[in-house]
Chain A
Amino acid sequence: MAATAGIDNPAVEELRARLEEHGYLADEGIATAIFLAIELERPLLLEGDAGVGKTEVAKTLTRMLDRPLIRLQCYEGIDVSQAVYEWDYARQLLHLRAAEIRSGDQLPQHAEDELYSERFLVRRPLLQAIDQHSDQPPVLLIDELDRADDEFEAFLLEVLSDYTISVPELGTIRADRPPLVVITSNRTRDLHDALKRRCIYHWVPHPGLEQEIAIVQRRAGVGPELARDIARAVERLRTAGLYKPPGVAESIDWARAVARLGREALDEHTAGVTLGQVVKHREDQEQLHRLGMQSILDDTGTD
Chain B
Amino acid sequence: MNPLSHDEMERFQKLSNTYEPDVQGPLVSNKQSSHSIALDYSNADSTLATKTNALAVTHPECRIMKGDGNCGWRAVAFGYFETLFALRDTIRIEAEIQRMKSLTALLEQVGLSDSIYEIFVDTTEDVLNQTHAAILGGAQDESFLVETFNEGYTSEAIITHFRLLTSAWLKINSSRYQAFLNMPLESYCATRIDPVKTEIDEIGLQALVDCVIDGSGFGVEILYLDRSQGDVVTPHQLSSNRPNDATIRLLYRPGHYDILYPANNHLNMAPIVNLQYEMTSDYSPWDQSALGFDVNSSLMAIPNLMQDPSFGMGAPMSPMPSVSPTPASPFRMSPQQDVYSPPMHSSPMHSSPMQTHAIPSIPISSPPAQLAPPSAAPPPMTSLPSRSSEGPQIRLNPLVMKPNLSRSLPVSPPFKK
Partners in one complex: no
Chain A residues close to B by CB (< 8 Å): none
